[in-house]
Amino acid sequence: MFFIALYRIFKFGFQNFWRNFWLSIVTVFILVLTLFSISVVYTLNVVADNAINAIKEKVDIDLFFDPTIPEDKIFAVQAYLESQPDVKAVEYISKEQALESFRAEHQDDPTIQESLSELTENPLPATLVVKAKALEDYSNIVVNLDNSEYSHLISSRNFEDNQVVIDRLSSITDRIYQVGIGVSLIFILVAILVVFNAIRMNIYTQREELGIMRLVGANNIFIRLPFIIESILYALLASILTILILYPLLSAVSPYINNLFEGYDFKMFSYFTANFWNILGLEIIISVVISVISSMIAIGRYLRV
Amino acid sequence: MIKLKNVSKIYSEDTVAVKNINLHIRPGEFVSIVGQSGTGKTTIARLIIAEEKPTKGKIIIGGWDITDIKNSEVPVLRRQIGVVFQDFKLLPRKTVLENIAFALEVSGAPLKKIKTIIPQVLKVVGLEGKADRFPRQLSGGEQQRVVIARSLVHRPKIILADEPTGNLDAINVREIIDLLLKINKFGTTVVLVTHNPGIVNGLKKRVITLDQGVIISDQKMGRYIL
């Protein structure tokens, strides 16, 4: 009994969709545009978040030691820093390691390679690379170190304050995000109106059939639910179409975005493929909510039961 | 079976459809409600099927007070009253069988029940061989018989026919009236709303006459008196 009722409600819902085929197609198209704009905002957000994180990840303090300072003293500084609550990690790079990586970095530059081979002594200092737990902790670490007993051991330090760059990037991405949200809200509003109108038109074209249904004692669910099913059908089709457009597009754009993140651990398309089901689920939820809400308003307003 | 107690339907001060109607139709009766156009006959029909709610008074159908019936209860009432209108109200893209089955489908009837009932009602109305025809392939009388068949699928206790012969020629009028009499013989209460004196006078059944929204006569073996 339940299944036969469900089957008939779905059948009537599909019939509603086919009977006003072109109107249904336009409605799905508007929903696709809405979902697509939301997806673009989401993509921008993902890229911006990763850009900021990537920059944050690159921030560190390099402490250089005079060649005369023995290694055990450097290890003492390392131990001191590691004991600090703000410090996440401290990496020791010996003079030899520094030279090795310098050679590797400039292996294609014959002038540098030649100069290095002429040197009798390793000119590069030993280094401690300090990473803080949070970006705002760096200045604190520097101040503490300057006031500590180890400050005289450090010949120089390299700490570029990236906070300004990060703040600027955040403000740009926030602005893009706000504009994106605004555009998406406009599309959502248009989608609600279009679905509302599609259901209203369908109620109008079927007024005769609906009148007969009421006359012969049709259950209210047989009168109302097919229109809800119809709106869910719009939403599902729109979600699938959006994914079918979005993924090839992301795949095409991905190499350009990845270029921006060269040297960082972020591959945009991999992110989207790894989160495929979440993204599809989210698109379905958003479009179903938009469709069902607007169809319920249309049903409440125009379908007298 | 049908009781109307002091029922009035007032749309506005100037538009009073029916006023202080008191009516009692017993189970198994065949009652004609007559009157000229605009006297409130159809309003009474619409009040009985809860298409309208009375402004004043009480309406009781089979012991059920439907005066303030909830929207969710209307379908239950409609399945107890088979309704036949002048303009047939058949779906042109569905066959005779599909039109009749539709009434059962949208009430949630199982397929087995639909398959059992349809041949029975088609037999009652004499359309056994025309189940696969579309409405446009049928005469007016046959279309009205399809409507009657559809109204019978829920085995209603009441058949309410509002001008069922309005669009038919004399021969078809006779056929439809005979069919309603046949259904009445099975024990179904029939309420016939009409302004056709020929039909009413030939029936020799109870006649309720309305004039300007008021009952002016209620005769057991009545005639059309206007």
pLDDT at residue B78, as a whole number: 92
pLDDT in tens, A58-76: 778 888 888 888 888 889 8
Determine the Cα–Cα distance for residues A128 and A155; give it in Å rounded to an integer: 12
What kind and span of H or E run contains A89? strand A87-93
Question: Does residue B132 register a pLDDT over 70?
Answer: yes
Residue B85 lies in a domain: yes
Of B49, B75, B110, which is closest to A220 when you measure between CB atoms?
B75
Residue A146 confidence class, pLDDT cut points 50, 70, 90: confident
- Evaluate whether A163 touches A135 at the Cβ level (below 8 Å): yes
Query: Which residues in chain B (31-90) have CB-CB distances under 8 A to chain A?
Result: 49, 71-72, 74-79, 83, 89-90
Report residue A51's pLDDT band, with 50, 70 and 90 as the boundaries.
Answer: confident
What was the pLDDT predicted at A19? 85
Select from A155, A201, A172 the least CA-distant residue to A303.
Answer: A201
- Residue B102 is assigned to a structural domain of this protein: no
pLDDT digits (tens, 9 = 90+) for B95-126: 999 999 999 999 889 999 999 999 999 999 99
pLDDT value for A61: 84
pLDDT score of A196 more than 70: yes
- Distance separating alpha carbons of residues B10 and A227, to the nearest angstrom: 34
Q: What is the DSSP letter of B72?
A: G
**Among A8, A216, A218, whose Cβ lies nearest the Cβ of B150?**
A216
Q: Which of A280-289, B165-174, B179-188 has the lowest mean pLDDT?
A: B165-174
Q: Indicate the burial class of B147 (C-beta count within 10 angstroms; 0-12, 13-18, 19 or more).
A: buried
pLDDT at A305 over 70: no
CA-nearest residue of chain B to A9?
Answer: B106
Over residues A225-248, the pLDDT tens digits come to: 999 999 999 999 999 999 999 999
Classify strands B214-219 and B206-211 as parallel, antiparallel or unpaired. Answer: antiparallel
**How many structural domains comprise chain B?**
1
- State the average pLDDT for chain A: 86
CATH code of the domain containing B81: 3.40.50.300
Cβ–Cβ gap B79/A217 under 8 Å: yes
Considering only CB atoms, which chain B residues are within 8 Å of A216? 78-79, 83, 102-103, 106-107, 150-151, 153-154
ipTM of the complex: 0.83
The pLDDT-based confidence of B52 (bands split at 50, 70, 90) is: very high
Of A100 and A281, the one with more pLDDT:
A281
Count chain A–chain B contacts defined by CB atoms under 8 A. 65
B146 vs A113, higher pLDDT: B146
- Choose between A170 and A249: higher pLDDT: A249
Residue B179 belongs to a domain: yes
Task: Return the residue of A nearest to B160 by Cα.
Answer: A215
Q: Mutating which of B106, B117, B146 best tests the A interface, going by the most A Cβ atoms within 10 A? A: B106
Say how far apart CA B35 and CA B217 lie, in whole Å: 10
Q: Is the pLDDT of residue A179 over 90?
A: no
**Closest chain B CA to residue A214:** B75
CA-nearest residue to A305 within chain B is B71
Q: Across the strands, what pairs with A130?
A: A61, A90
DSSP annotation of B154: T
A215 in reach of chain B (CB within 8 A): yes
Q: pLDDT band at residue A49, thresholds of 50, 70 and 90?
A: confident
Q: Please indicate whether, in this complex, the C-beta atoms of B78 and A214 are within 8 angstroms of each other.
A: yes
| Residue B99 placed within a domain | no
Collapsed DSSP state (helix, strand, coil) of residue B88: coil
Query: Which residue of B74, B76, B91 is in closest CB contact with A212?
Result: B91
Inform me whether the pLDDT recorded for A189 exceeds 80: yes
Chain B nearest-CA distance from A300, in A, is 13
What is the pLDDT at residue B37? 87
User: Which of B105, B111, B114, B118 to substitute to test the interface with A, most A CBs within 10 Å?
Assistant: B105
Q: Which one is the CATH code of A60-159: 3.30.70.3040, 3.40.50.10310, 3.40.50.300, 2.60.40.680?
A: 3.30.70.3040
Closest CA of chain B from A215, distance in Å: 7
User: Average pLDDT for residues A83-88, to the nearest whole number?
Assistant: 89
A164 interfaces chain B, CB cutoff of 8 Å = no
Q: Which residue in B has a C-alpha nearest to residue A223's C-alpha?
A: B106
What pLDDT band is residue A161 in, cutting at 50, 70 and 90?
A: low
Q: At what angle do helices A163-205 and A276-302 cross, to 10 degrees?
A: 40
Residue B118 lies in a domain: no
- CB contacts, 8 Å: A8 with chain B: 105-106, 108
Residues of B within 8 A of A5 (CB-CB) are 108
Nearest to A215 among B72, B83, B110 (CB): B83
Of A113-117, A129-133, A264-268, B2-6, the least confident = A264-268
Cα A226–chain centre separation: 36
Q: Give the residue carrying structure tokens 């156009």.
A: B37
Mean pLDDT over B72-94 rounds to: 90
For residues A237 and A55, give the distance between their C-alpha atoms in angstroms, rounded to a whole number: 39
Q: Would you say residue B216 has pLDDT above 90?
A: yes
C-alpha span between B184 and B205 (Å, rounded): 12
Q: Residue A58: what pLDDT?
A: 76
- Band (pLDDT 50/70/90 cuts) for residue B24 is very high
The pLDDT of residue A187 is 87
For B78, the closest of A8, A209, A216 (CB atoms) is A216
Q: Is the dihedral of CA B58, B64, B69, B74 positive or negative?
A: negative
Nearest to A4 among B71, B90, B110 (CB): B110
Residue in A5, A212, A220 closest to B72 by CB: A220
Q: How confident is the model at residue B131 (pLDDT cuts 50, 70, 90)?
A: very high
3-state secondary structure B41-52: HHHHHHHHCCCC
**A212 Cβ under 8 Å from any chain B Cβ:** yes
Mean predicted confidence (pLDDT) in A20-38: 91
Q: What mean pLDDT do residues A36-43 have?
A: 88
Is B188's pLDDT higher than 90?
yes
Whether residue B166 is predicted with pLDDT greater than 90 in this model: the reply is no
For chain A, percent of residues with pLDDT exceeding 90: 28
Rg (CA), chain B: 17
Q: Chain A residue with minimal CA distance to B155?
A: A216
pLDDT surpassing 90 at residue A267:
no
| Amino acid A119: pLDDT | 79
Domain of residue B197: give its range. 2-91+136-202+210-219
- The counts of H helices and E strands in chain B are 7, 10
Contact B82, B156 (CB under 8 A): yes
Contact A218 B77 (CB under 8 A): no
pLDDT for residue A100: 86
Query: What residue ranges of chain A are covered by domains with CATH 3.30.70.3040?
Result: 60-159
Which of A66-75, A233-242, A283-292, B148-157 is least confident? A66-75
pLDDT for A162: 61
pLDDT at site A163: 64
**Chain A residues within an 8 Å CB radius of B83:** 215-216
